[in-house]
Amino acid sequence: MKTDTLKPSQVMTILAVASLGIDILIEQNSMVSYAGRDAWISLLLGGITGILFGSIMYFLASAYPGKSFPEIAVDICGRFIGRLFMLPVLIYILLHAGLSINIFAQTIKMFLLDRTPMYAIVAVMAAVAVYAVYKGIFTLSGVIDIIFPLAVITIAALILISLQQAEVENIFPILYKSHMKVLRGSFFGLLHFPGFGHVAYLLCYAQDSKVSIKWYIIGTAIPVVLATALTLVTIMVFNPLGIESLLFPTLTLSKSIEFPVTFLERLESIVAVLWISIAFGSISLFTFVSVQNFLIFFGRKSEKYVTLAHFPLLMIVALFIKNGMKVIEYYLELKYLLAAFVFIFSPMLAVLSVFQKRRQIRN
């Protein structure tokens, strides 16, 4: 019997779904606040920058076959400093997963289950996500393979259907006295694609740890293209001022769609139902990454117990803050930790890795 490995296409689907989860619902709002009508350009530039910075993680993981990111960090920096460096990453990933569940539960409560308590919605999502992680990365990747086309079709369909209400003048004039805003916005745009770093956790499970960079680029480019197109359409439909007042612009966009024939009503509920699987994919992938961090940070070998322990952890993080608006605020502020990771920690680790490799060659 052959041992399981991730196929390159699976690495691609995981990277795409990891970044499509929660941010796809709220990114228009935050991006418009930075770059106004040119928010979509910021998001596109941010995405491209994200792919470039994420490739550092790709090359780092390729240089250490069979090792996940926390193992690489410990390998390069040593046991103590490596773990110290891992601490903010560990906190960021756990908080990201937990707050994502909270935002997810808020949307479900708003569009599907207005009378169901938050803790019940959170508990169901956390339980199924932990169950998926408990079954292992190969099972999880199998689920992501099924979710991926569903995610792409849902978002693409939403974009195409919304085009009928789009008003092109809402995006003009392009880049009019807003170059700096666009550039500043692109920094935040990059942070709306939090799943790119997952590549450093996946290559150790891949068929041969050197998955072609083609798959990495496809996997990261898909959410960039979809998010940019969705933001562009949302701006064209609502105009930048209208978007700033919306909590979940994507779902409001689906709400605004009207079919000429009485076929489906309340499309936003249907989109919310379809979006559940996308959010689940992203949340469970972050939970998986969090489990990997905990395993190395606490030096545990039994993945089973660490995974099960994530259920209460996710519940606590998701339910700790009661105010929904505050959760979104914290979720966006949490991205500064991601920025530190992308711009400081991973390049530094890459440089140290180069030195270590050179030292090894000399010796």
Binding site for another protein (CB under 8 A): 1-2, 6-7, 9-10, 108, 112-113, 116, 120-121, 124-125, 128, 131-132, 135-136, 138-143, 145-146, 262-266, 269-270, 273, 276-277, 280
Q: Which is nearer to another protein, 107 or 231 (CB)?
A: 107
Smallest distance, Å, CB 264 to another protein?
Answer: 7
Smallest distance, Å, CB 13 to another protein?
Answer: 8
Q: Which is nearer to another protein, 170 or 209 (CB)?
A: 209
Tokens for 157, please give them: 């369909």
Smallest distance, Å, CB 254 to another protein?
Answer: 12
In whole angstroms, what is the distance from residue 178 CA to residue 355 CA?
41
Map residue 7 onto helix, strand or coil. Answer: coil
Smallest distance, Å, CB 251 to another protein?
Answer: 14
In whole angstroms, what is the distance from residue 203 CA to residue 361 CA?
24
Smallest distance, Å, CB 269 to another protein?
Answer: 5
Q: Are 278 and 103 in contact (CB under 8 A)?
A: no
In whole angstroms, what is the distance from residue 66 CA to residue 246 CA?
44
Amino acid at residue number 84: L
End-to-end CA distance of the chain: 40
Q: Which is nearer to another protein, 88 or 142 (CB)?
A: 142
Q: Are 188 and 31 in contact (CB under 8 A)?
A: yes
Map residue 167 onto helix, strand or coil. Answer: coil
Annotate 63-75 with DSSP letters as a single string.
HSTT--HHHHHHH
Q: Which is nearer to another protein, 10 or 42 (CB)?
A: 10
Q: Which is nearer to another protein, 102 or 228 (CB)?
A: 102
Number of neighbouring beta carbons within 10 Å of residue 334? 17
Q: Which is nearer to another protein, 109 or 192 (CB)?
A: 109
Smallest distance, Å, CB 280 to another protein?
Answer: 5
Tokens for 2, please give them: 């052959």
